[in-house]
Copies of this chain bind each other. A is one copy, B any other.
Amino acid sequence: MGDFNESVVLDAIRRVPEGLSRVELSALTGLSAQTVSNICRRLLNEGLAREGGTTSSGAGKPRRLLQVNAEARYAVGVHLDPAVVTLVVLDLLGKVVARAQQPTPEAAEPDPTLAGMSESINQLIADSGVPSDRILGLGIAAPGPVDVESGLVIAPPQLADWGRVPLRDYLAGATKLPVLLDKDVIAAAVAERWTGVAADTGNFLFFYLGTGSGMGLVVDDVVLRGFSGNAGEVGGVYAACTTSALVGEAIEEGVLGAEFKPAGPRDAEQSLRELCRRAAAGNVTAGEIIDRWAVRVGRGVVAAATLVDSEMIVFGGPIWPQLAERFLPVVRGIVESSPFVKKIHPTAVTTTGLGVDVGAIGAACLVLDQMLAVQPQSLLLG
């Protein structure tokens, strides 16, 4: 129970950057003054917390505030998207302190990508200047489907030649760090919960738009993983919504020339950016292709939000910035006209505050979440 109560206190102070007094902590957590006092001393000794000024509200003597010591621990996150690899180092409060990005090698075999990832991770850690003994671990956000138990990526649609790749164990060997792996959309949802726009709601879904699409679901304050760790797959519904399918549509309708035909995920993303530019410049057909896509996504997302009774829908992913302006009004219109939303409760539709790095930030948050968040399930015996 000691560790559990420590997590409860740490979780309380990390949510209030200016800090909380011991009296406030006791009131917030339900722990006795003596227990709070002991935990605070332990957190100070471990360097996880620090004293941060005083509060002088009320008539009593000023109370010292306990704050999270953001530089006490760090987590590394790497997001493997079929088009781009993104890496970040986060501090304990979820702030990005170092970042790198590089194109995903367009090789059929995984080896160059794996080698490039491990090299970049070690380089980023060295460049960041973070002492290695303060790094809690490495999180990986991988395209689905994954085998979470074995730490495998299973032939994602855009990297189909990969077969079953032991990504987690490879990077554990190459970096000597504890490593966690989850699907990209699940990692993104963890990021939103830990440090994003959805930090204050226990019921939201994250819609990820990248080379493929998927959803990360948080219901009743729990990130859903599902039987095989692949919750959030929308492949069946959105097969027509990969970047390459959309670019194909644009070429067929003559909006893009044949030279935009993509050879791989990176090309497809570049071509899609061009489609968005032409829509923004007034090309009607280009705009219609994007709007039809927005309608399909909007219908899918409102069905999912209704099914799990979400309070908020958050959009993000590598190609979202190009799409947001046209997508948001279309999707909001569909959500607001849903009978469920009209009858039961409003549902916010918004953009991630974490930008295109949300997958990589989520990967690092997997580590923070596992090691620091309150995990009532951990109390189950066995």
Contact = CB atoms under 8 A, between A and B. Distances in A.
A377 B376 CA distance: 6
B343 A227 contact: no
A244 interface: no
Given A219-B224, A231-B219, A374-B380, A236 B31 contact: no
A340 B376 contact: no
A338 interface: yes
A31 B344 CA distance: 44
A215 B304 CA distance: 12
A154 B227 CA distance: 33
A382 interface: yes
Contact of A227 (B1, B203, B229): B203
Given A235-B340, A374-B380, A377-B376, A345 B227 contact: yes
A164 to B, nearest CB: 11
Interface of A: 1, 4-5, 8, 28-31, 145, 154-155, 201-203, 215, 217, 219-220, 222, 224-237, 239, 302-304, 306-311, 338-340, 343-345, 374, 376-377, 379-382
A311 B233 contact: no
Contact of A308 (B5, B145, B217, B237): B217
A145 B344 contact: yes
Given A234-B306, A309-B233, A154 B226 contact: no
Contacts of A380: 8, 374, 376
Given A235-B340, A236-B338, 9 more contacts: A29-B381, A203-B227, A219-B224, A220-B222, A222-B222, A226-B309, A226-B310, A233-B306, A235-B306
B310 A381 contact: no
A303 B235 contact: no
Contacts of A233: 306-307, 309, 340
Contacts of A309: 224-233
Contacts of A377: 376
A202 B377 CA distance: 14
7 contacts: A28-B382, A203-B226, A227-B345, A233-B307, A236-B303, A236-B340, A376-B380
Contacts of A226: 203, 219-220, 308-310
B340 A308 contact: no
Contact of A235 (B203, B339, B345): B339
Given A236-B338, A376-B380, A381-B8, A228 B306 contact: no
A224 B215 contact: no
Contact of A231 (B308, B338, B382): B308
A382 B307 contact: no
B381 A30 contact: yes
Given A307-B304, A379-B379, A145 B230 contact: no
A303 B308 CA distance: 13
Contacts of A382: 28-30
B228 A344 contact: yes
A105 B28 CA distance: 48
Contacts of A217: 307-308
